Structure 1
Amino acid sequence: MARPPLRPSPGRPEPAQGLLRRLDGIARAALPPVTTAILLVLAAAPLGLPALVPAVVLPAVFFWSVFRPVSMTPPAVFALGLLQDLLTYAPIGIGILTLLVVHGLAFRWRRGLAAWSFLAVWLVFCAFAAGAAGLGWLLYAVLSLQLPPPMPALHLALLSAGLYPTLAFLMTRAHQAMQRAELDS
């Protein structure tokens, strides 16, 4: 009868068991909405760019709805929209409805979008940003019973489209790290 070695053999460590594995899964699932909320709060810092808050949350909701829809759920999108409305002093509901529409459409088309090149996804996002800015403008007009100037909506669409490549690069790295961690466990 051979004795077992005193040291464990080198190689892959044993996966976490029980509670630790569940906590790791919960943390990975919560990472997209939590980091988006942190970005929202950081974007709300007084920089003189009031459109920065919705311009940051829109790419994040779109990206995670396409590439990790399990983590970006409708309740999380609702909470992010509410946080956006509170941080921008917008009428409650405009950001919520806009983000839920973006999430729903991105979720519905995720299978096709996930297979496309970055440039094609970016162009689709540009259309989403223009549509979301137009929807926000329309909702504000309905709630205020007057036509607001269209330039803030245009700036929001352009700023969102311009921020998407940088934010998508960072979110892609986080997504790949989460996929590697899931494969290892």
Structure 2
Amino acid sequence: MGYRAENLLRLMRAMAPTILGVLGVLMLAAPIRLFEGAVPTPIIPLVIVFFWSVYGPDYMPSVSVFLIGLLQDLLTGGPLGLWPAVYLVTQFIVLSQRAYFLGREQKVVWIGFALASSLAGIILWLVMSLMSGVLLPMTALALQLLATIFIYPVFGIVFGELHRRVLVEA
């Protein structure tokens, strides 16, 4: 393989988590609803930010996290800067606890994700309540976070395989 092709391949590997984050935002913003809207759409970018902050922080720099959040704000019509702030706070917390998560059973990491998701939900709810001037109902957000928490193990397995086969073994 030529020098340029190797460099391009290396760049694509390094960008894989960021590309997954962008795809997650596009899936979240798409007008597709699971089971005809009976199940809220999971916040897949939150899963991506959490997973890669634990297992591959070099592949998910803060700039990527910020851009993923900004894209989500632009596509979903949210207040500009809200999702970048939520994702960056999540990344900061995860990175501060990364040594604890590494080498633990997936159940422990899943509980960590549930706690991080809950904190992200509280931040979202507080900011949106402050912006609207009233305490907003939490039901829809809580259901969306539950859907996100329940799909984490599936994405954890897939991303774990991607990390092992494409990024580590390459």
TM superposition score normalised by structure 1: 0.82
Contact 1:51 1:155 in 2 (8 A): yes
Which of structure 1's runs of 4+ aligned residues deviate more than 3 A?
A: 16-21, 48-51
Aligned pair 1:171/2:159, yes or no? yes
Aligned to 1:132: 120
* Structure 1: unaligned runs, 5 residues or longer: 1-15
Question: Greater helix share, 1 or 2?
Answer: 2
Paired residues, number: 165
Mapping of residues 153-172 of structure 1, within 5 Å: 153-172=141-160
Distance 1:20 1:111, change over 3 A: farther
Deviates more, 1:119-128 or 1:139-148: 139-148
Counting aligned pairs with the same residue, the percent is 27
Aligned to 2:18: 33
| RMSD between aligned residues | 1.8
Aligned pair 1:47/2:36, yes or no? no
Aligned to 2:6: 21
**Structure with the greater alpha carbon radius of gyration:** 1
Aligned to 2:87: 99
2:139 and 2:75 map into 1 onto residues whose CA distance is: 20
Contact 1:94 1:140 in 2 (8 A): no
Secondary structure of the 1:101 match is helix
1:17 and 1:112 map into 2 onto residues whose CA distance is: 41
2:48 and 2:85 map into 1 onto residues whose CA distance is: 16
TM superposition score normalised by structure 2: 0.89
Secondary structure of the 2:137 match is coil
Contact 1:133 1:156 in 2 (8 A): no
Can you list the C-alpha shifts for 1:26-84, whole angstroms capped at 9, x where unaligned?
A: 1111000112211221232212459526x111111000011000111111000110111
Deviates more, 1:150-159 or 1:132-141: 150-159
Deviates more, 1:124-133 or 1:80-89: 80-89
